[in-house]
Amino acid sequence: MANLFASTEILRIYQNRSKFQWIILLLAIIISVSTIYYTNVLVNQLKQREKRQIELFARALEYTISANSRRDVNFITEEILFQNNSIPTILINDDNEIVDYRNISIDSASWSQEKIQQTFENELEKMRRTYDPIEVNSLDPLTNEVFGTQYVYYRNSFLLTQLTYYPYVQLSIIALFAFIAYLVYNYSKEAEQNRVWVGLAKETAHQLGTPISSLLAWVEYFKSDASLPSAEIIAELEKDIDKLKIITERFSNIGSVPILKEENVVDVVKNTVNYLRKRISTKVVIEVEAMHENIPASLNTPLFEWVIENICKNAVDAMSGVGRLNIKIIEGSDWRVYVDISDTGKGIANSKLSQVFKPGFTTKKRGWGLGLTLTKRIIHNYHNGKIFVKSSELEKGTTFRIVLRRKKP
């Protein structure tokens, strides 16, 4: 009952985690889009306001040039022209000469004429790319005829420029916080999952202890009675009991750091396969190929045997008890050992390859879908290696690849 509850709890955690991730992502998108939209509305309003200011500036300048009243000129100069203290502007005449400028940093005292000229050219180029210039016509006060035209070039003020880039800065900050929240959430869930895994494993080991002791007693009883099953059957029973002891040890060690030793991968795989041959369908042919008979790697033998068993049993189920299982052991030149396990089963659809090692994923009618999850955990966390689906084709088969490390001399 405890195992059933723990397994159900693991699946519930993963399913809820997926839902929460989508909710967080959806909220982040809504906040980001709303922020960018609102900020763009403000930017457009400020752009229109600055454009009206420059147009007013141009009209005031036009009126100043043409006005007769000195009083009006002073008022316009003080109250309108000189009030532009934020928007960079340059006034150009018909001959493309700079007549006046506002809010452009020029140090006339220390800068050379070439540097000043280059600064004005750069500013004009920016302004031309930003907005079209506003014409300022010089009118004859008597005839009201145009006798000259000047042009006001301008670009966004520093405030508007900041506001333009603000939504992207804000979006980056939101994304950063969302990423941190995602990491914290994953970490807390992973810690919770680890506690469930360890609890499940310890409880399983505890539950196995009693029947193993009972089986040991029965085997000793069989040995003492010559009329009971043959020695070969008793030998097989002892193998199963030894296997149960190993399984109990495996579960007991979950949650603690396993000891890795330099072992011959070929021997470990062959021993596991020899044990499986008598316990799976006789219509499944298992072959083990190796580059040579001694290929060492850093292993925890009981845990690695568990990995081979899980993959082989899944392969037998995928082949419905009929087919061929081929295991190739390759010694790489990069201090790696590669173990490829290929079956002739029904294969895995491309859309489901990313889910293979997730808890709850199974193609069988019965089962919790935890075998490959444990397998990945053993290889990645305990052996510092990798396991992945190397290739898979529907109705033709699947190949899993395990990558192990070798000790450098």
**pLDDT top residue among 18 and 313:** 313
164-180: b (≥16 Cβ within 10 Å) or e: beebeeebeebeeebee
Give me the residue label for tokens 């042009």: 151
Q: Please report the pLDDT score of residue 408 as a whole number.
A: 76
Average pLDDT over residues 364-378: 73
Least confident of 104-108, 120-124, 308-312: 104-108
pLDDT band per the 50, 70, 90 thresholds, residue 285: very high
What is the distance between the alpha carbons of residues 397 and 389, in angstroms, rounded to a whole number?
11
The phi and psi torsions of 214 (rounded to 5 degrees) equal -65, -40
What is the distance between the alpha carbons of residues 181 and 32, in angstroms, rounded to a whole number?
16
Task: Tell me: pLDDT of 141 over 70.
Answer: no
Task: Tell me: pLDDT of 7 over 90.
Answer: no
As a whole number of Å, the CA-based R_g of the chain is 39
Q: Please report the pLDDT score of residue 133 as a whole number.
A: 86
3-state SS, residue 279: coil
3-state SS, residue 402: strand
Give the rounded percent of residues in the chain with a pLDDT score beyond 70.
70
Dihedral sign for Cα atoms in the order 46, 50, 51, 55: positive
Q: pLDDT tens for residues 30-43?
A: 777 777 777 777 77
Tell me which range, 61-75, 174-188, 293-307, 357-371, is most confidently predicted by mean pLDDT.
Answer: 293-307
Average pLDDT over residues 134-163: 74
Q: Please report the pLDDT score of residue 1 as a whole number.
A: 41
Dihedral sign for Cα atoms in the order 239, 241, 246, 250: positive
8 Å CB contact between 237 and 219:
yes
pTM, entire model = 0.50
Q: pLDDT tens for residues 52-69?
A: 666 766 666 666 666 544
Q: Please report the pLDDT score of residue 6 as a whole number.
A: 46
Q: Please report the pLDDT score of residue 374 as a whole number.
A: 82
8 Å CB contact between 388 and 354:
no
8 Å CB contact between 136 and 151:
yes
Give the rounded percent of residues in the chain with a pLDDT score beyond 90.
21
Hey, how many other C-beta atoms are within 10 angstroms of the C-beta on 70? 8
Task: Tell me: pLDDT of 88 over 60.
Answer: yes
Closest of 103, 99, 100, 101 to residue 85, by C-alpha: 103
Q: Please report the pLDDT score of residue 77 as a whole number.
A: 43
Task: Tell me: pLDDT of 49 over 80.
Answer: no
Q: Which two tokens stand for residue 47?
A: 């752009």
The domains found in the chain, sorted by start residue, are: 2-161 (no CATH), 259-405 (3.30.565.10)
Residue ranges of alpha helices (H) inside 67-112 are: 70-79
What is the distance between the alpha carbons of residues 70 and 100, in angstroms, rounded to a whole number?
20
What is the distance between the alpha carbons of residues 164 and 44, in angstroms, rounded to a whole number?
9
Average pLDDT over residues 203-214: 65
Q: Please report the pLDDT score of residue 176 as a whole number.
A: 80
What is the distance between the alpha carbons of residues 125 and 168, in angstroms, rounded to a whole number?
25
Q: What is the DSSP string of 152-195?
A: EEE---HHHHHHHHHHHHHHHHHHHHHHHHHHHHHHHHHHHHHH
- What is the arrangement of strands in the sheet containing 284-290, beginning at the earlier edge strand? 284-290, 323-331, 336-343, 397-405, 386-393
Least confident of 45-49, 69-73, 213-217, 386-390: 69-73
Average pLDDT over residues 325-346: 93
What is the distance between the alpha carbons of residues 310 and 302, in angstroms, rounded to a whole number?
12
Q: pLDDT tens for residues 227-279?
A: 665 667 777 777 777 777 777 766 666 666 778 999 999 999 999 999 888 88
* 378 contacts: CB under 8 Å, gap ≥ 6: 303, 304, 306, 307
